[in-house]
Amino acid sequence: MIRTYSKFLDKLETVEKIFLGITVAVMIIVMVYQVVLRYCFSAANSWSEELARYLFIYDVMIAAAIATRRNSHLQIDLLINLLKPKVKSIFTIIATLVGIVFLMFLLNYSLTLCQTAANNISAGLKISMSIPYACMPIGIILMILTSFEVIFQNLLQIQELGKREVNDQ
């Protein structure tokens, strides 16, 4: 079961990376366009800065999901690496569960924010503000999905370590 779930997340991560590659390229093009307009032609537009900002926010949320899957968020590795493998896995499971609880609260509030902002229109792009705000629930759902994989993998690791201890005795 975990293999099927991991394969699903592998495909999802591929889509996320393609999305990140495209949006970073678009951000660079839009920002260069804005700089050329502003400094070469003394003109400016309102949509380019706004588009770059919204794309960047989406990129941060998508990349956070990838970082969650790799368990590479900010942590004190020095202390964690001092722990025995079994204790380290248990600690990771507990920390990930706490993270999921926090993400569930955040998801609730982000959905409310999207609904509230649906009638507001952005100044530059003239789009509903629920579109930029949708990065929060999208990123949160992706982080929750990858958090479950982290938990499952650590549970399997604890199980394997338990089997090794029994075999060593």
Predicted pLDDT of residue 27: 97
Q: How far is CA 67 from the centre of its chain?
A: 7
Predicted pLDDT of residue 25: 98
135-168 and 2-40 helices, crossing angle to 10° = 140
pLDDT at 67 over 70: yes
Determine contact, residues 92/154, Cβ cutoff 8 Å: yes
Show the domain range for 119: 2-168
pLDDT at 165 over 80: no
Predicted pLDDT of residue 156: 94
pLDDT confidence bin for 34, thresholds 50/70/90:
very high
pLDDT at 15 over 70: yes
Tally the domains of the chain: 1
Compute the Cα dihedral for 144, 146, 148, 150 and give only its sign. negative
